[in-house]
Structure 1
């Protein structure tokens, strides 16, 4: 029987998709953004529950899914931690600055999964000189979970993007999971002693080279070439359709700004220092979410911002994963997601740990 998963703060479902690819049964995703529902449900055989976790109890969530505490095998999610304060956490746990992180811990306590996986920004491990990390671990341990935590960089798992995130993984009966290690280097040119045997990193060119070129505002649904590398074969394995490949509708002034930037350079704005042109033969920097309907990164060889499909490919979403809703929400979903290849590696590490336990017992 497949192991069941509930995804809290699910967004589009990057975490869910990796677990689904590893053979887990994702039964539900929960998020307060109604505009995420169609994307999540279209790409997972699961129910989307629109709710702030402060407006629906975990008992109500389980009842809506006809589940009891202990029926869910894995709870996953990436609660925001902006403004987290230990002062608020220890004195007023309902403080808005702390609620989402502590609510995830509470949900694990009430749902009683065997495993949990929590993703967060890297600084959650260093905030207040490491005291926040210690607090999070202690709260999970208090409710009966052994906890492992560490940083994973997506580029090490074959994602064409340098994206580092913190992960906390817990087990209810004492097993302490070793976080997975990727087999890809961080740089195509530099090798450390420990990385010498690893594969070269996947690059922006690996992600984009088979996609058709676009002018500003243009959309295309046919690939330019057959798959040109193993990454493209992986992304295109489920079918021939190409969706979400529309360029931002830039005006001439924006096109001119992008044209003035070489690969790897910042786009010449007085503000918006994060806007830059990608380098074709290197992994992308960390993809951002952002509220604007324009762009953060420009294509390495075409004078335009990225399509949603190009953003999705930088995150390792397969091409059959279709995004719906306003383009601003599609950008938010692609920017905030856990890359599915990273999630899949975590899911497989859980399966390996369970297999080892079965063999030893």
Structure 2
């Protein structure tokens, strides 16, 4: 089967990687972020990266780049920038220009007429303007002939070692059933992938240490490490961000599973000296080997979340953050360290993308073998 995909707002290409794992051929990715584009180009050599605002992307250009005709694309995927919908953005709302970028996605849908659509966004999209964005997405896709359903997916239920909730819209115009992937991990299923499963084989680092590509510390242990490592002998992007002296002093007091509450009062940041003990539960959090990561954001800033290594007095490296997002180690991130963390935090975890892609793949196969579905 010639199953194709185009990824709008592709970033470094986490969703694209997942779709490729599921058997789709990604033909193009579109994004404005230059460093992410370099990563995408390096990790998706058979796809074309289009680095421009989606507002400037024409249907003719996309058809020419992909070599397709209108209606031939299997999946149009994309996650319009989520900052306008995020609960971390206290000025969020429909007035934010980023909140209307999904209309550009809809314009591309109308022009390309893909068989399937996949959209991903943060939970905050449900509450913005009383759910107006969600209703508009479904109503306007419906007007274009698509049956669309949305569901909150938990990344950890698909093998990702992280608590991450995302709203995923899936739809099609071919009359096939619309399904979301069934969980593979959790109670009664495959055990969750723990932080130790994810990063336990990576070499120890000192605060601020950058040794370039380095060998693994141990042989691979478990399916996840075998998956991310493949046949590689060294790993890149594994460098510790440099924390200031006072932060290093704070870390020495925080036990696994602990947080800012473990820091002596005189060492707390001024603003946190006024905090209630019930507030800021993830701030200055140290991970535990047997737990799941908190949501990986565009900054693994210890002041905002549990991004302290389980044993070492440092923040997690880009590679460790990427592992917690289930990126394979052949995914090497371009740009400054700040750019790299942004690429990792903005991405759809590839294993979640794979689960979505495999579910659509299964429906397509069923439709091609079932006369009733094929006729629809």
TM-score for both structures, normalised by structure 1: 0.89
Q: Deviations over 1:36-75 (max 9, x none)?
A: 1210011112111111111222333323444332232211
Which stretch has the larger CA shift, 105-114 or 298-307?
105-114
Q: CA deviation at 1:200?
A: 2.2
Q: Find 1:284's aligned residue among 281, 284, 293.
A: 293
Look up the match of 2:12.
12
Distance 1:128 1:293 in 2: 31
Distance 1:301 1:95 in 2: 41
Distance 1:219 1:259 in 2: 21
Look up the match of 2:252.
259
Residue 277 of structure 1 aligns to a residue whose secondary structure is coil
Q: CA deviation at 1:346?
A: 0.4
Query: What pairs with 1:45-124 in structure 2 (closer than 5 Å)?
Result: 45=45, 46-83=47-84, 96-124=97-125
Look up the match of 2:329.
319
Q: CA deviation at 1:178?
A: 1.3
Question: Retained in 1: the 8 A contact 2:77–2:119?
Answer: yes
Q: Deviations over 1:155-180 (max 9, x none)?
A: 00111000010000111122232101
Tell me which stretches of 4 or more aligned residues in structure 1 moved more than 6 Å: 291-295
Q: CA deviation at 1:129?
A: 3.8
Question: Retained in 1: the 8 A contact 2:284–2:302?
Answer: no
Residue 152 of structure 1 aligns to a residue whose secondary structure is strand
Distance 1:351 1:314 in 2: 26
Distance 2:100 2:363 in 1: 31
Question: Retained in 2: the 8 A contact 1:69–1:111?
Answer: yes
Find out whether 1:227 has 2:220 as its counterpart: yes
Look up the match of 2:36.
36
Residue 283 of structure 1 aligns to a residue whose secondary structure is coil
Distance 1:113 1:245 in 2: 39
Residue 54 of structure 1 aligns to a residue whose secondary structure is helix
Q: Find 1:337's aligned residue among 342, 347, 357.
A: 347
Question: Retained in 1: the 8 A contact 2:161–2:195?
Answer: yes
Sort the Cα spacing of 1:167 and 1:316 in 2 relative to 1 into closer, same or farther, 3 A. same
Question: Retained in 2: the 8 A contact 1:115–1:169?
Answer: yes
Q: CA deviation at 1:97?
A: 4.6
Between Structure 1 and Structure 2, how many residues are aligned?
A: 343
TM-score for both structures, normalised by structure 2: 0.85
Which stretch has the larger CA shift, 323-332 or 210-219?
210-219
Which stretch has the larger CA shift, 72-81 or 302-311?
72-81
User: Unaligned regions of 5+ residues in structure 2, if any?
Assistant: 86-93, 273-279, 372-376
